[in-house]
Amino acid sequence: MSKKTKELIPPGLAYLADNIISGHNILGVPKEQQAKWSKGLDLPRKGETIFFAGCGYQYSSELESLMSLIRKMDKSVIGSETPMRLAALPKKLGIDAAGIYRKIMAKSNDADAQTLRDAVGVLKSFGINFGYLAEEEPCCGAPLYFAGLQKEFAKNAREAYETLKSRGLKRIIGIVPSCTYALRDLFPLFIDGYDIEVKHFSEVIAENISSKKLKFPEEVKVTYHDPCQLARFLGLIEEPRQILRAIEGIELVEAEWTNGEWSTCCGGGGGFEAVFPELSQVLATNRAREMTATGARIIVTQCPGCIMQLKEGLKELKNGDVKVLDLAQVLAMATEA
């Protein structure tokens, strides 16, 4: 990136973009630390259909810690320009940000990415066969696209496509909404003859939903938060609802007005939380308020960003009674019972 570019792109986004360009994932996590979540799941490293894990769920607890740190900085006196410019951050803040960051990145948290393990388990229980590329999985690069770095995105996309094709795969099951959107709708804009079929986890499950009896461990009211990219970009509005309605014990209650294509963004859209950490928290709280007004005990959604935001919103509302779960987690609970 040129100097001028770096000046106009907010530092938060430039930081994520740099990580993707140099480290091939949004946090710049070294290769040997990737794909740890899949240990012991015994997934083949290839196949015509592969599960695409993406960054968001894998590094969700790292991202959560990082965001909480950034929010603290954003509210502090020197906050407005520094979020995510961690390496350059002076120690006068009173916190050793770079040190905390190193710790966050070095941490090995097995509770991470439960959603991914659940999704894999659920897909298998529906009899769907697939592989996982693990450390070989390329980064979709979506944050580059939304930061305006389309040349970098295009380069990354072409390399990713080559990697995917060299493994002989034909179909992808995506789970992170933005990766799925990038792989399904953005890659073809930059790659001639793109011929990989991309479906989202919820589509695949919805297609097979009648083949299995599902029962949630308790009777519960749930509401569904539509992630922007899933509902408005990918058009997957009915699928998750069809799935939730098929689970015995679950009563789906909808937010007044703000559901489906009218769903309110969690405040994390397009890397927004990295640019306006504090405002993003306000938006998360507003959305959590709309969701809890339904009287639901569980907010179900399907995006690592939304989950992080909604949890943050509930925390701000001091609401400890309502839980946020990914649809994959809900399905896993309903399959086991």
Does residue 154 belong to the site contacting other proteins (CB under 8 A)? no
Token duo for residue 336: 């086991």
Are the C-beta atoms of 141 and 157 separated by less than 8 Å? yes
Does residue 10 belong to the site contacting other proteins (CB under 8 A)? yes
Least distance to other proteins from the beta carbon of 47, Å? 33
Q: Contact with other proteins (CB under 8 A): which of 219, 261, 293, 336?
A: 261
Return the SS3 of 237: coil
Does residue 304 belong to the site contacting other proteins (CB under 8 A)? no
Integer Cα distance of 37 and 115 in angstroms: 10
Least distance to other proteins from the beta carbon of 271, Å? 8
Does residue 189 belong to the site contacting other proteins (CB under 8 A)? no
Does residue 5 belong to the site contacting other proteins (CB under 8 A)? yes
Does residue 150 belong to the site contacting other proteins (CB under 8 A)? yes
The number of beta carbons lying within 10 Å of the beta carbon of residue 111 is 7
What residues between 82 and 141 interact with other proteins by CB under 8 A?
none
Q: Contact with other proteins (CB under 8 A): which of 232, 297, 315, 323?
A: 232
Does residue 278 belong to the site contacting other proteins (CB under 8 A)? yes
Which is nearest to 179 in space by CA: 15, 53, 272? 53
Instruction: Give me the residue label for tokens 């973009």.
Output: 17
Residues 6 or more apart whose Cβ sits within 8 Å of residue 112: 37, 57, 58, 59, 60, 61, 62
State the number of binding residues for other proteins (CB under 8 A). Answer: 40
Least distance to other proteins from the beta carbon of 14, Å? 10
Burial 271-296 (b: 16+ CB within 10 A, else e): bbbbbbbbebbebbbbbbebbbebeb
Residues that bind other proteins (CB under 8 A): 1-2, 4-5, 7-11, 13, 80-81, 145-151, 228, 232-233, 257, 261-265, 267, 269-270, 272, 275-276, 278-279, 282-283, 286-287
